[in-house]
């Protein structure tokens, strides 16, 4: 058999001496006109019009609202919205849950939104959490931003708060969103990598777009690998308005704070979980709700009076900026509880349709140019994904109030309209449905009457021009171990970039302007010359450190819902197991008994104990801590069991609390480990619990990290 490769391109085929050569070449010629090479070409619209500004949406003044007449932005985003059928272009990998929101008190001084004025009212909600980059089949624990979208089914209509687990975003203007997503998605020639940003096109884009610097450093932090969905903060990202019954408007930023605290995985653990339990986050959320550990978040707002809009050293309309809590504290509004899992993933989680434009009286928009574009884009996307404009009639999206409006027909219509008039005004159906004046009781929606006096212009406001101060604030606000993780993340990600000039540009033109030591450390890890100075002048700001940004300051004061693995073999001390389970249950934590196999283990006094799984079936990466009870025979068996020893070494490497009871102390010598604040041994279970639980409550034993790096993966 010949091993000669067949001809695959036009030049090869042209030289083949076959009767069909002319036809073949003609076919290839006809295809050539469809091939596009942008080298040397001007940027144009799909209609061939040259584009003068691809960076800014057409607005009414540099800080004004975006204009619907911007055909360039609309064409670009419309095309982007329809790129995938039927999977979401971004946020495809998601999971969801039902619950309710309850206001703490009557917040009528802030807003006339009914669900925030009645503390006795429980407003139904549906929440969808998601990753951004990967497709539906990608892993839960990849390094990525997490979507945090909440649909409130209020008595005044649906309100969708569509945000992320990070308070800022990569770009300032919605016209750049297709560019950013194209860059972060798998590369077009080989569809690699799945669910990750460690590749050339992403870093090429962000190294050329300094406005992304703040969000990128968040993505390189531990925030991008959350411990669970239950331990994520959520943010509305944009500046919105709250308006009260008197028409008084205030700017606000929305915040979600988990009662479980905010914490993350370590990188090695996140990578292993992506292989060992691809569904780790969705499984954790599902199981927590099923066991009654209902996840809770407090909703709060940062409130900025209109007259104080320009009092900051950044622009509150800039979506790449946050408002430090030390400058504007968070005002708590109420609490959200998730207490019911979906009955059908497709019908609910997959078909739920969120749109930032879904608001109710008492809530309104700001002129944030990223938000302004999202108001158009999300509805357009849902029409594409869900087969037409009637996606609001799907049960998961359907408001709890009627929605008669004369909009009829189209695909997937389920409402059967009575009456003959599908227009307004009409006299045939008695004039119904009719408008509701905004001043009436439970009045109709009225947009805030913001005065606009400006030229139509494509221009970025000068107040959006500082791209590094808040990235610097974030890095300097991190604890030592968080800073080390950021350095490691940049080094890992940029180490995957094939083109050296992209790596060098990110270090020399972005990182040097955030923090010179950060840039030097990353450069050294990449084998690049260490930079000596930044390329832009450091701006003086009112704040250089924000403790609220560090997850080290966001831990809960308990170990509720934490999961502890108990490792045992035949001959184990059954009383020690029982005592530890009882102590953990009293704290609201959970224990799982793991054996060498799935078969029951026998205690030292001959009793049979059913195990929850084998050590291979439930690896250490799915637990928060490990406990090894005494029992000479059990400890001897574990000492000779490679799986058990790897289990403990892996937990140690991932900085988790480990308690060794009685004879289990011998494992320190077997594993060649030294006791520390989170590796505790003792003969009395009761005495062990206090330091053990304290170590679990700190989430990780950070002082161990340097030693743990010497442990093989």
Structure tokens at 563: 């999961």
- Is residue 196 within 8 A of residue 133, CB to CB? The reply is yes
Structure tokens at 314: 């950044």
d(CA 437, CA 441) in angstroms, rounded, equals 9
657-661 vs 625-628, strand pairing mode: parallel
Name, in order, each residue with C-beta under 8 angstroms of 586's C-beta and a sequence gap of 6 or more: none
Name, in order, each residue with C-beta under 8 angstroms of 402's C-beta and a sequence gap of 6 or more: none
Query: Active site residue: 158, 164, 367, 570, which one?
Result: 164
Is 164 annotated as catalytic? yes
CB neighbours (10 Å) of residue 120?
Answer: 7
Query: Active site residue: 91, 281, 467, 661, which one?
Result: 91
Tell me the sheet residues that pair with 602. Answer: 608
Find the radius of gyration of the CA atoms of the chain.
29
Among residues 623, 627, 638, the alpha carbon closest in space to that of 682 is found at 627
Which H or E run contains 163?
strand 157-164
Q: What backbone torsions phi and psi does residue 304 show, to the nearest 5 degrees?
A: -125, 120
94-103 vs 122-131, strand pairing mode: antiparallel
Among residues 152, 148, 149, the alpha carbon closest in space to that of 100 is found at 152
Among residues 60, 62, 44, the alpha carbon closest in space to that of 52 is found at 44
Q: List alpha helices for 654-684, DSSP H.
A: 666-671
Structure tokens at 385: 């994904």
Among residues 249, 303, 257, 244, the alpha carbon closest in space to that of 116 is found at 244
Write the burial class of residue 23 (CB in 10 Å: 0-12 exposed, 13-18 middle, 19+ buried).
Answer: exposed
Is 646 annotated as catalytic? no
CB neighbours (10 Å) of residue 342?
Answer: 19
- Is residue 396 within 8 A of residue 347, CB to CB? The reply is yes
Query: What three-state secondary structure class fits 595?
Result: strand
Write the burial class of residue 25 (CB in 10 Å: 0-12 exposed, 13-18 middle, 19+ buried).
Answer: middle
d(CA 704, CA 675) in angstroms, rounded, equals 10
- Is residue 203 within 8 A of residue 494, CB to CB? The reply is yes
Among residues 448, 418, 684, 436, the alpha carbon closest in space to that of 576 is found at 684
Catalytic residue numbers, as ranges: 91, 164
């Amino acid at each position: 058999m010949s091993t000669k490769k067949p001809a695959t391109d036009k030049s090869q085929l042209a030289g083949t001496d076959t009767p069909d050569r002319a036809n073949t070449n003609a076919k290839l010629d006809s295809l050539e006109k469809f091939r596009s090479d942008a080298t040397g070409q001007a940027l144009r619209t799909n209609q061939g019009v040259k584009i003068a500004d691809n960076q800014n949406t057409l607005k009414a003044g540099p800080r004004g609202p975006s204009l619907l007449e911007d055909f360039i932005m609309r064409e670009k985003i419309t095309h982007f919205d329809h790129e995938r059928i039927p999977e979401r272009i971004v946020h495809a990998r998601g999971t969801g849950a039902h619950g309710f929101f309850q206001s703490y008190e009557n917040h009528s001084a802030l807003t006339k939104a009914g669900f925030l004025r009645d503390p006795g009212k429980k407003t139904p909600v549906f929440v969808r959490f998601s990753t951004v980059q990967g497709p539906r089949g990608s892993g839960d624990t990849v390094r990525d931003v997490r979507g945090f979208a909440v649909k409130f089914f209020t008595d005044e209509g649906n309100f969708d708060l569509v945000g992320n687990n990070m308070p800022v975003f990569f770009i300032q203007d919605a016209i750049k969103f297709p560019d950013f997503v194209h860059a972060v998605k798998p590369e077009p020639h080989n569809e690699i990598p799945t669910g990750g940003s460690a590749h050339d096109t992403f870093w090429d884009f962000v190294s050329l777009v300094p406005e992304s610097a703040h969000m990128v450093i968040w993505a390189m932090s531990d925030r991008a690998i959350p411990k669970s969905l239950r331990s994520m903060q959520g943010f509305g990202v944009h500046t919105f308005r709250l308006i009260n019954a008197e028409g008084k408007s205030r700017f606000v930023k929305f915040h979600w704070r988990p009662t479980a605290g905010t914490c993350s995985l370590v990188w090695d653990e996140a990578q292993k979980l992506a292989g060992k339990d691809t569904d780790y986050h969705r499984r954790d959320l599902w199981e927590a709700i099923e066991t009654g550990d209902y996840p809770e978040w407090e909703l709060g707002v940062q409130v900025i009076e209109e007259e104080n809009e320009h009092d900051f050293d950044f622009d509150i309309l800039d979506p790449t900026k946050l408002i430090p809590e030390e400058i504007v504290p968070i005002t708590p509004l109420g609490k959200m509880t998730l207490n019911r899992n979906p009955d059908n993933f497709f019908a609910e989680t997959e078909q739920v349709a969120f749109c930032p434009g879904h608001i109710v009286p008492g809530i309104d928009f700001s002129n944030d140019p990223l938000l302004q574009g999202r108001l158009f884009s999300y509805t357009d996307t849902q029409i594409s994904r869900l087969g037409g404009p009637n996606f609001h009639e799907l049960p998961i999206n359907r408001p709890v109030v009627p929605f008669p409006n004369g909009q009829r027909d189209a695909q997937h219509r389920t409402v059967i309209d009575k009456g003959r008039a599908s227009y307004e005004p009409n006299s045939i159906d008695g004039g119904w449905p009719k408008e509701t004046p905004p001043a009436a009781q439970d009045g109709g929606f009225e947009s805030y009457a913001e005065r606009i006096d400006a030229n139509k212009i494509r221009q970025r406001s000068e107040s959006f021009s500082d791209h590094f101060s808040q990235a610097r604030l974030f890095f300097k606000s991190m604890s030592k171990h968080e800073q080390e993780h950021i350095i490691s993340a940049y080094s890992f990600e940029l180490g995957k970039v094939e083109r050296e000039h992209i790596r060098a540009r990110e270090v020399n033109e972005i990182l040097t302007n955030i923090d010179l030591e950060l840039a030097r450390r990353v450069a050294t890890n990449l084998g690049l010359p260490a930079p000596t100075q930044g390329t832009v002048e450091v701006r003086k700001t009112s704040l250089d450190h924000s403790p609220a940004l560090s997850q080290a300051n966001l831990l809960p004061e308990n170990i509720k819902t934490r999961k502890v693995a108990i490792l045992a073999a035949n001959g184990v001390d059954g009383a020690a197991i029982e005592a530890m389970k009882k102590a953990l249950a009293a704290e609201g934590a959970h224990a799982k008994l793991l054996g060498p196999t799935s078969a029951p283990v026998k205690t030292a006094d001959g009793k049979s104990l059913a195990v929850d799984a084998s050590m291979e079936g439930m690896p250490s990466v799915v637990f928060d801590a490990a406990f090894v009870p005494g029992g000479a025979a059990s400890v001897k068996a574990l000492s000779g069991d490679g799986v058990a020893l790897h289990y403990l070494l892996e937990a140690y490497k991932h900085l988790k609390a480990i308690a060794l009871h009685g004879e289990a102390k011998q494992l320190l010598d077997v594993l060649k480990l030294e006791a520390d604040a989170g590796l505790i041994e003792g003969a009395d279970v009761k005495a062990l619990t206090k330091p053990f639980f304290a170590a679990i409550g700190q989430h990780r034993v950070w002082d161990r990290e340097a030693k743990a790096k010497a442990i093989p993966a």
